[in-house]
Chain A
Amino acid sequence: MPEADPAASLTRTDADTAASAAQPPIVLRFFAGTIEVHGLPQGHALVPPGFLWDPRTNCLRADADHYGAVALRLHRARVPWQDDARRWQPLTADVAEPKQPRPFQVEALDAWRAQQSRGLVVLPTGAGKSWLAVMAIADRARPTLVVAPTLDLVRQWHQLLEAAFATKVGVVGGGEHDVQPLTVTTYDSAWIHMEHFGARFGLVVFDEAHHLPGTSYAQAARMCMAPFRLGLTATPERQDGRHALLDELIGPTCFRRDIVELSGRWLAEYDVETRVIDLDEAERQEWTHEREIYRGFLRDQHIRISAPGGWGRFLMLSCRSEEGRRALAAYRRQRALALAPKGKFELVGQLLHQHRADRTLLFTQHNATAHAVSRRFLVPSITHHTRVSERTAILRGLREGDYRAVVTSKVLNEGVDVPEANVAIIMSGSGSVREHVQRLGRVLRKAEGKRARLYELVTGETGEVFTSTRRREHSAYR
């Protein structure tokens, strides 16, 4: 592969003037998230699958992630070609203060390199995925884009990379737009801006990579030219089955370790305790009444909610009549009663008192419950409404011990690093295994003498019992 000559791309290339030349050279260009091949006809043996003839520009075109494949073919065929696409040079920064990697980090890096530096590494929270990425960046020595799902994580990555490489690290997102050889961005910003900077990185790291297969985010991965790709996650599986796309967007899973494999030596030991709470008499009566309205509507309309499309049919029919609207309201009310009965609040009060010297994270399903807990027990809350500066201050307070508990709905489910946290209380949640594992992961980061505890509060004899059973279908809870 020819080294990119910056001067060549500042002036008009031969390909642009060579209309009269007998054999125009092959030129690769990056345009708006696609890779263009000029100078090769459609169906030529050197053209890898995925390229289509674009009559609008008289060239072959494919998603930018085909760059590596076509460049490799041209290089191996030893034909003259010009690379106007690649806009990166080797990364000069090196790790400022190397630290001894854990044995499984070395294994993971080797496995990733063995797959042409493309693939997914599955490790539990707290196992050191971020440092593995630092090792990969240093190993490949390519300008790197790190993509993370939230601004909190972007900030954490920014701090980590600046400290690790002792160099300026760019940020795109949250009002900032500074592209550097090492840059951190959010999935949303990557989707918006990849068509502009997708040619500037040789390595892309997707943190919490299970987000990537979403329709829009997947497009960001395709619009990026980086031949080297590293995906990091603790929970790759998605309920919609789209995790199969990760093979194409990043590469196959090259290394995997589970919580139970690392617990003890590399992760904190932990206990899980499920507490069953009963509805009080008034709540039980109301729950039964509302549930009967909801179920009666399902019966009358012959809806089986567990059947494929059952829920969608319920929503559709609930909009068409007064009875339907009442049934939808009844469904919501009985669910709200099950998720946040008085008994749960009382138990939360007891647990906060019991663990007043610990660092506790409380998780709820809805923001309203998080705010209710915050008001009642006077603990700070973090929801998606919380501004970044306040969120930072709260997490700093928790780390430093000024706060001993924080309540959150979903925004702390993944990634955010509070090593000191050792108690998690799941007040309510969805049936998602991933969410439940991620919440446990928040308190598993290893610390001297630390033993983590997770409480799961479940309202007995309601649908929450089934939800709880579903979300515990993971080795971490067996």
Chain B
Amino acid sequence: MLTADLVRGTRRGDKLLVSPPTGKRRQRALEIAEASCALTAALVGEPRDEVDAALQSVPIQAADQLLARGLQKLLLDTCTFEAAEGPDPRVLREALFLQASAARQALGDGEHLNDAQLRAEVAAAHGLDAAQIDAALYADLKGTHVLTAAGTETATDLVDRYCLALEQAVLLRAERVTVHLQSDDPESLRRVLRACKFRRLLWRLVREEAGWRLELDGPVSLLRASTRYGLQLALLLPVLRDCDQFHLRADVRWGKARTPLTFVVDGGRRRGARAAPALPPPDDVARLLEDIAALDTLWQAEAAVDIVELPGVSWCVPDVRLRHPEFGEVWLEVMGYWSRDAVWKRVELVEAGLDRAMVFALSSRLRVSEGVLDPDLPGALYVYKGVMAARRVLARAEEAATAHAATA
């Protein structure tokens, strides 16, 4: 990802604009990308300092310096650098410096340390020539690491990634984001919401006439400008790009003065482009699905694909759909340990009357007891410590389903 210092933003009124390279500038970007990719491919086996120096020699116009640094940063992020083979530099240093220290202390006035002899002795003891020891001594420094694999991206892909990274770099400075999603595809929306959940963002989803409005922020944003959630917001952008159409508006703090500005991104999936494959369920949910499948039970579990409206609260993204020939359908939302407040909202919802059977799984770290919900209600809390237990989840599902059937 690009850092903010590699992005030149232009201010127009209270708006911040970044300009992805287009036209002739894009052509120059492609040339820089091509030359840089070719160089890294040719320099496999060379130390990082050499690779850096070579990349700096790529001819660029003075105005394209930032562009080149950004492209090359992204390129280097995809390269693999490893310490060169040889004796462990730390062991080598320790041996040489301890010997040198002892030798220096033993010197009399007017005597000089014979460092060449020391180097030769330690080098020989570690299977090196005396000439090799200086290079080997600090072979673990980043600059001496050897390029073992260059990135395989094409110049076009690198420039495209650069364009996305420019917008992400601005979002690193975001305090609050509102996204209008125009998508009829439940999987796209689900993907976005799951990404929000995964990134531990606080979000609200509101149904609009033409799509959805998603508001993202954190508790501290009420009190002051905070870019604390910027990284999570930036990482959300690639997921949004896969929606049919979106309009993102971010409140950002930009520059050294942290000036409050608005940043807008409009975009969506390119026409004709394929939708990304469905995300696999999170690890804890995948494990739960496996555990339930391994049980001798009539319950069937699958990753949920629906978005469920919780009237008066918002919309929720259940993680698992449970089905049973006798008990019917029960939804499970894994809330983990991300928000105690969100749990209380769901408790209130269940008490107000829920139109389906639901189980909310939450970590014991949220310090909420299962007992806060009456067993006669169609919603149940399942509190777990560490890992969800399949049998306990199903027991809670049965209770919720039974209560739901009784109230229906």
A interface residues (Cβ-Cβ under 8 A, vs B): 9-12, 16, 31-34, 52, 54, 56-57, 61-63, 219, 223, 319-322, 324-325, 352-353, 356-357, 371, 374-375, 377-380, 385, 387, 390, 393, 397, 402-405
Contacts and interface: CB of A to CB of B under 8 A. Distances in A.
A57 B372 contact: no
Given A353-B113, A356-B107, A357-B105, 15 more contacts: A16-B344, A16-B347, A34-B222, A62-B223, A219-B220, A223-B220, A319-B62, A319-B65, A325-B65, A356-B104, A371-B141, A375-B137, A378-B113, A380-B97, A387-B90
B247 interface: no
Contact of A378 (B63, B97, B222, B372): B97
A10 B367 contact: yes
B66 A319 contact: yes
19 contacts: A10-B369, A12-B372, A31-B219, A31-B340, A32-B220, A34-B219, A54-B222, A56-B222, A219-B220, A320-B62, A325-B62, A352-B104, A353-B113, A357-B105, A377-B115, A378-B96, A378-B113, A379-B100, A380-B93
A372 to B, nearest CB: 10
B142 interface: yes
Contacts of A32: 218-220
Contacts of B93: 380
Q: Sort A-B residue pairs by CB-CB distance and give the 9 closest, nearest first.
A: A378-B100, A12-B372, A11-B369, A380-B97, A32-B219, A34-B219, A356-B104, A319-B65, A321-B62
Interface in B90-118: 90, 93-94, 96-98, 100-101, 104-105, 107, 112-113, 115, 118
A353 B112 CA distance: 8
B47 to A, nearest CB: 14
B134 interface: yes
Interface of B: 62-63, 65-66, 90, 93-94, 96-98, 100-101, 104-105, 107, 112-113, 115, 118-119, 134, 137-138, 140-142, 204, 218-220, 222-223, 226, 228, 340-341, 344, 347, 367-369, 371-372
Contacts of B368: 12
Contacts of B347: 12, 16
B100 to A, nearest CB: 3
A322 B60 CA distance: 10
Tell me whether chain B's interface is mostly helix, strand or loop, or mixed: helix
A61 B94 contact: no
A118 to B, nearest CB: 20
A189 B62 CA distance: 40
Contacts of B223: 34, 52, 61-63
Contacts of B65: 319, 325
Contacts of B119: 378
Contacts of A12: 347, 368-369, 371-372
A56 B204 CA distance: 10
A349 to B, nearest CB: 9
B222 to A, nearest CB: 5
A47 B8 CA distance: 44
A172 to B, nearest CB: 15
A1 B181 CA distance: 48
Nearest to A84: B367
Given A371-B141, A403-B98, A404-B104, A324 B62 contact: yes
A365 B136 CA distance: 24
B367 A385 contact: no
Nearest to A11: B369
Nearest to A378: B100
A390 B97 contact: no
A371 B137 CA distance: 10
A34 B221 CA distance: 11
B95 to A, nearest CB: 11
Contacts of B142: 385
B90 A390 contact: yes
A235 B222 CA distance: 34
Contacts of A397: 98, 101
A109 to B, nearest CB: 33
B344 to A, nearest CB: 6
B222 A11 contact: no
B98 A57 contact: no
A397 B367 CA distance: 48
B63 A320 contact: yes
Contact of B101 (A16, A320, A375, A379): A379
Contact of A16 (B112, B113, B372): B372
Contacts of B220: 32-34, 63, 219, 223
B219 A11 contact: no
Contact of B105 (A54, A356, A385): A356
B228 A219 contact: yes
A377 B140 CA distance: 19
A402 B101 CA distance: 7
Contacts of A405: 101
Contacts of B371: 11-12
